Amino acid sequence: MKLSTKEFDAMQMGWRKWYIEKMELKTFKKFGLSIKGLDILEVGCGSGYAASLLTAEQPNSYTGLDIMPEQLEIARGRNLPGACFVAGSAEDLSRFPDGSFDAVLDFCILHHVEGWRSFFDACHRVLRDGGSIYAADLSKRCIHIVDALLHWGHAEEALFTFKEFETEANRRGFATVHKTSDLGLEGYFRFDKR
């Protein structure tokens, strides 16, 4: 699902990069993410805020995937060395060969993906043995609050509880290594491929 105009505008503000760096990426690192030398796939890369942080830490490769051409245009305009930005959706990673990546990162985009359950199957295929998903995402409860206040209009089919999210990951071949949440609104997960 594409972002509404209001949400797209909000995601272009500096607070989003600050939050990715100070909260989400920091938590991923506490959970064991070491970027240098890895092949990284970021789903829903948006305008490249996270990409600028990740590429600065010298991954072997960085690929950002997004369905919105306007987001990809901004991301490509950052001219990040070694970064590759491609069009596509998080639930369909068929463009990538088996075992292409060491880590797949989600910085709060899966609550936009109606086929989010398929995301785990796709990740299982594209991750190498021992690969990990690092996910920071928003609960159904959080999105209901946001939509009541800001009227961003998220699709109900894409929303999940953290229990549903973890259960699907486990059912589709991933072990939960770390998890935490902020007041049940934003959850952080590390799932390792079994």
Instruction: Find the CATH number of the domain harbouring 94.
Output: 3.40.50.150
> ∠ CA 153-22-32 to the nearest 5 degrees?
105
Q: What CA–CA distance (Å, rounded) separates 93 from 123?
A: 8
Residue 55 · residue 62 · CB < 8 Å: yes
Q: How many CA atoms lie within 13 A of 28 on its CB side?
A: 26
pLDDT computed for residue 1 by the predictor: 62
Q: What CA–CA distance (Å, rounded) separates 136 from 138?
A: 7
Helical axes 116-126 vs 162-171, angle rounded to 10°: 40
pLDDT computed for residue 79 by the predictor: 96
What number is the average pLDDT over the span 85-91? Answer: 97
Q: What CA–CA distance (Å, rounded) separates 149 from 151?
A: 6
Indicate yes or no: pTM above 0.85.
Answer: yes
Q: What CA–CA distance (Å, rounded) separates 32 from 9?
A: 32
Query: Nearest 5°: phi and psi at 110?
Result: -65, -20
pLDDT computed for residue 41 by the predictor: 98
| 98-139 residue pLDDT tens | 999 999 999 999 999 999 999 999 999 999 999 999 999 999
Total tally of structural domains belonging to the chain: 1
Taking the CA atoms of the chain, what radius of gyration do you get in angstroms?
Answer: 15
Nearest in space to 66 (alpha carbons), one of 57, 58, 76 = 76
Strand partners, 52: none
pLDDT computed for residue 181 by the predictor: 95
Domain range holding 51? 5-193
49: which residues sit within 8 A by CB, 6+ positions away?
16, 17, 20
